[in-house]
């Protein structure tokens, strides 16, 4: 039984808001989120899930509303917790985390921990919604750790390539619990890689 999970990395956020949970979409993000709805409009989506973060929910809300589907929030799909402080040199921090999946700052999460809870949530969906097509509102790092779990060749170099791609869509296709394919979709190019 084939199950398709469409992970949607949120659209451009308002970086002036440093509250990770409450960071909303920017004006650009509010415009760009229609790319998600346009891509998904012909897909037989049966349920919509999301990280609890505002930017993830806001990105998929127009699509969910167009299908009259409620957005089911799953805290395990949230983005990584970095620390209580704003990180000025985010590039160096990210690179160090990708070099050592157990590296984390005080009060933060390692990529290994982020990956573990995101995969746990994904596996629940594969059991509860087997044979269906689902949408999940997600984040760049969280989604990258999911890809890395199924394709360990996905590295910091790949993460850097998608850094500015918001929204970004990745379709994971499963046969039971086995990942058959990972398709990265650049909604701005309107073509798949």
Q: Which helix (H) or strand (E) holds 93?
A: helix 90-99
The CA distances from residue 57 to 17, 53, 85, 192, in Å, are 16, 6, 24, 24
Strand partners, 170: 7, 184
Q: Where are the domains of the chain?
A: 2-192
**pLDDT tens column, 62-107:** 999 999 999 999 999 999 988 877 777 888 989 999 999 999 988 8
The pTM score is: 0.94
**d(Cα 25, Cα 58) in Å, to the nearest integer?**
7
Q: Which residue has the higher pLDDT, 109 or 192?
A: 109
Kindly indicate whether the domain formed by 2-192 is annotated with CATH number 3.10.20.600: no
Q: Report residue 191's pLDDT band, with 50, 70 and 90 as the boundaries.
A: very low
């Amino acid at each position: 039984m084939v199950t398709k999970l469409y992970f949607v990395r949120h659209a451009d956020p308002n970086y002036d808001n440093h509250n990770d949970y409450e960071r909303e979409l920017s004006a650009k993000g509010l415009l760009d989120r229609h790319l998600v709805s346009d891509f998904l409009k012909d897909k037989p989506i049966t349920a919509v899930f999301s990280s609890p973060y505002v930017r993830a929910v806001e990105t998929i809300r127009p699509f969910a509303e167009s299908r009259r589907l409620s957005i089911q929030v799953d805290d395990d799909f949230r983005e990584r917790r970095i620390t209580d402080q704003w990180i000025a040199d985010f590039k160096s921090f990210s690179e160090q985390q990708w070099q050592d999946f157990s590296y984390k700052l005080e009060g933060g999460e390692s990529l290994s921990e982020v990956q573990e809870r995101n995969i746990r949530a994904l596996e629940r969906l594969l059991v509860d919604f087997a044979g269906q097509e689902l949408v999940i509102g997600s984040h760049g790092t969280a989604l990258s750790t999911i890809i890395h779990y199924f394709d360990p060749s996905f590295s910091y170099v790949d993460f850097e390539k998608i850094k500015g791609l918001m929204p970004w869509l990745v379709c994971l296709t499963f046969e039971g619990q086995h990942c058959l394919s990972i398709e990265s979709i650049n909604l701005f190019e309107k073509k798949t890689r």
